[in-house]
Amino acid sequence: MQVTARRFKKNAHGALQDDNIQKAFSKVKGGFPIARAKAAGELPEFDALRDQARDLKNHILDNLDYYLEYFEEQVLLQGGKVHWCSSYADARAAVLEICRAAEAKTVTKGKSMITEEMALNDHLAANGIEPIETDLGEYIIQLAHEYPSHIIAPALHKTKDQVSDLFHQHHEKYGFSERLTDPQALVNEARRILRDKYVAADVGITGANFLIAETGSTVIVTNEGNGDLTQSLPKTHIAVSSIEKVVPTLEDASLFLRLLARSATGQEMSVYTTFSTGPRRTDDIDGPANFHVVLVDSGRSDLLGTNKQDLLRCLKCGACMNHCPVYQAVGGHSYGWVYPGPIGAALNPHMVGLEEARHLPSASTFCGRCEEVCPVRIPLPKIMRHWREEAFQAQVTPKPERWGIGLWAFFAKRPALYRPLTRFAARSLKIMGGRKGVIRRLPLLKGWTDVRDFPAPQGKTFMEQWKKQQRESR
C-alpha cells in the first residue's frame, strides 16, 4: 500500500469535509466504548486481569526467543512447518512458495493485520494467484481497492449505500443483477458468493491472535465464522503471524481472551474462537493436509529493550481508537498506514520512519483515554512523547516550532525577563480585546484564531498585582 502518513494534515482536512466519513466515525463513540464499559463493569476482576496481562506480556517479551523456539518445536511435533521471516519481502516469498507448491489458483483469507502490513494480496495477485477476503468488512474494502480504516471494523468508513453499489457492480458476474439495499440481504448475497470460494480455494490464509507455545497451536477469534472455513476447507492452511503473538500456555491464552473481546466490542467472547494444531490427523473429520506458520518480525525485534517495547504487548483490540477523539474526528485513513488511532500514532513511526510519520504522534492532545482503556496498559501517550523527543532532537520537528519553543523557554527560565514580557503581553492583548473582551485575529496565534476567538486577558498579570498587594500590606 502507498504510505500517506506524511500528508496526515491534508488527509485529515479531507476527512473533516467528508460527510460520510464524519457520520461513520462519529458513530464509533456511541457504540464500542459503551459496550466496552458495560462488559468491563460486569467483570469485577477486569482491571486485575489487565495488570496480569501486562505483566505476562512483559515476561513473554523478555523471553521471546525462548517461547518462539518452544512454539516451533511443538508445531513440528504436530506435523506443521514454521517459516521464520525477518522482513515483509521474506514473508511474502514464503507464502508465495507455499501457494505455488499447492498449485494454488485462489486463496481465501481470514482477517489479518500482518498481511495488510505485508501487502500480501497485491503480491499474490501480481503472481497470478487470486486472494479472496472472507471477513465481510475486508471483502467490502477489497472490492473497493481500499485498506482498513479500523483494525477490527475495516469497512467502518463505508456507508450502506456504497456497499450496495459495490456489490451491485461486482456481483453481477455471479448472476446477482439486483441492487440490494437491505443489510441482511447484502450479507446473504456475500455469503452465497463466498461459500463457493471457500470450497474452491486451494490455500486458506489466516492471521493469528495468539500462538500457543506449549501446544504449537495458532488461535483466531472471529464473529463471522469465516476464519474456520478459511482454515479448515482448503488443503493447505497458512497462519501468518507477527512474532509477539506467542503466549506460553493455553491457560495464558485464556487470560488474554477474557480481555480481548471485552475491550474490542464489549462481547464476553467473540462468537468463534478457533484453535489450529497441526494438519489433519487420520481420525480428524476435517482440516488441512498441510499446516504452515509464517512468523514475521519486520522491525519488531528492534523494539525490544527500547523505550517503545511496550507497544509489542498490543492485542490488536482497537479499544484505543474506539476511545480516541482524534480518530473519531479524522477517521482511520488519515493516518496513512495500516494502523490508525493511538496505536498507529505510536507504532507507525517505527514501521514507516519518523520523518514520514512525524505528524501522527504529534497530533494528540494526550487526553489519555487510550491508555485508560488499553487491556495491556500500553502507555501510548508516553510513547508518542518519546517520538516527539526524537523528532525534536533529530530536527524532524519543523524549525518554527522548535524555535518558538526555544524562545519561550528562554524567557520561562529567566523570571526577571519573563515578568516584563508577560506584563507587556497582558496589557497589549487586553487593549486588542477592547470592550468586547475577545480578539478575533492574532497573526502570531493564527492556528488559534482561525477557528476560535481569543479571550482577552484581564489586563495585569497576577504576579504584578500580587507583588503590589504585598508591598502595600507591609
Closest distance of CB 256 from other proteins, Å: 24
Kindly tell me which of 309 and 461 has the beta carbon lying closer to other proteins: 461
For other proteins, what does the binding mask look like between residues 16 and 55, x meaning CB under 8 A?
x---------x--x--------------------------
> Cell triple for residue 211?
500462538
CA 147 to chain centre: 12
Distance (Å, whole) CA 240 – CA 207: 5
Q: Which of 89, 271, 425, 431 binds other proteins (CB under 8 A)?
A: 425
Residues 264-293 that bind other proteins (CB under 8 A): none
Kindly tell me which of 271 and 409 has the beta carbon lying closer to other proteins: 409
Kindly tell me which of 275 and 408 has the beta carbon lying closer to other proteins: 408
Kindly tell me which of 222 and 461 has the beta carbon lying closer to other proteins: 461
Q: Which of 63, 101, 455, 468 binds other proteins (CB under 8 A)?
A: 455
> Cell triple for residue 287?
482440516
Q: Does 326 engage in binding with other proteins (CB under 8 A)?
A: yes
Q: Does 94 engage in binding with other proteins (CB under 8 A)?
A: no
How many amino acids of this chain bind other proteins (CB under 8 A)?
71
Pick the stretch among 88-96, 133-141, 250-258, 433-441 that binds other proteins (CB under 8 A): 433-441
The DSSP annotation for 369-392 comes to HHHHH-TT---HHHHHHHHHHHHH
Helix or strand holding residue 30 (H, E): helix 28-41
Angle (nearest 5°) at CA 472 between 471 and 474: 70
Q: Residue for cell digits 506480556? A: 57
Residues 366-385 that bind other proteins (CB under 8 A): 366-369, 371-372, 382, 385
Angle (nearest 5°) at CA 20 between 18 and 26: 95
Closest distance of CB 15 from other proteins, Å: 9
Q: Does 461 engage in binding with other proteins (CB under 8 A)?
A: yes
Q: Residue 117 in contact with residue 241, Cβ under 8 Å? A: no
Residues 387-416 that bind other proteins (CB under 8 A): 387-393, 397, 401-402, 405-406, 408-409, 411-413, 415
Distance (Å, whole) CA 254 – CA 324: 27
Distance (Å, whole) CA 344 – CA 141: 19
Kindly tell me which of 89 and 438 has the beta carbon lying closer to other proteins: 438
Distance (Å, whole) CA 348 – CA 357: 7
Kindly tell me which of 209 and 461 has the beta carbon lying closer to other proteins: 461
Q: Does 473 engage in binding with other proteins (CB under 8 A)?
A: no
> Cell triple for residue 421?
514580557
Kindly tell me which of 9 and 59 has the beta carbon lying closer to other proteins: 9
Residues 328-347 that bind other proteins (CB under 8 A): 328-330
Q: Does 463 engage in binding with other proteins (CB under 8 A)?
A: yes
Q: Does 177 engage in binding with other proteins (CB under 8 A)?
A: no
DSSP state of 393: H
Q: Which of 211, 364, 374, 383 binds other proteins (CB under 8 A)?
A: 364
Instruction: Using the CB atoms, write b or e for 62-101: b if 16+ within 10 Å.
Output: eebeebbebbbebbeebebbbbebeebebbbebbbebbee
Distance (Å, whole) CA 444 – CA 232: 63
Closest distance of CB 457 from other proteins, Å: 5
Pick the stretch among 47-55, 104-112, 133-141, 458-466 that binds other proteins (CB under 8 A): 458-466
DSSP state of 79: T
Please classify residue 108 by burial: count the beta carbons closer than 10 Å to its beta carbon, then call 0-12 exposed, 13-18 middle and 19+ buried: buried
The DSSP annotation for 246-296 comes to EES-HHHHHHHHHHHHHHHTS-SS-SEEEEE-SS--TT-SS--SEEEEEEE
Q: Which of 41, 183, 305, 325 binds other proteins (CB under 8 A)?
A: 325
Pick the stretch among 175-183, 209-217, 234-242, 457-465 that binds other proteins (CB under 8 A): 457-465
Q: Which of 44, 443, 447, 471 binds other proteins (CB under 8 A)?
A: 447
Q: Does 435 engage in binding with other proteins (CB under 8 A)?
A: yes
Please state whether 287 falls in left (phi above 0), alpha (psi between -120 and 50) or beta: left
Residues 138-157 that bind other proteins (CB under 8 A): none
Kindly tell me which of 28 and 194 has the beta carbon lying closer to other proteins: 28
Closest distance of CB 433 from other proteins, Å: 8
Q: Does 450 engage in binding with other proteins (CB under 8 A)?
A: yes
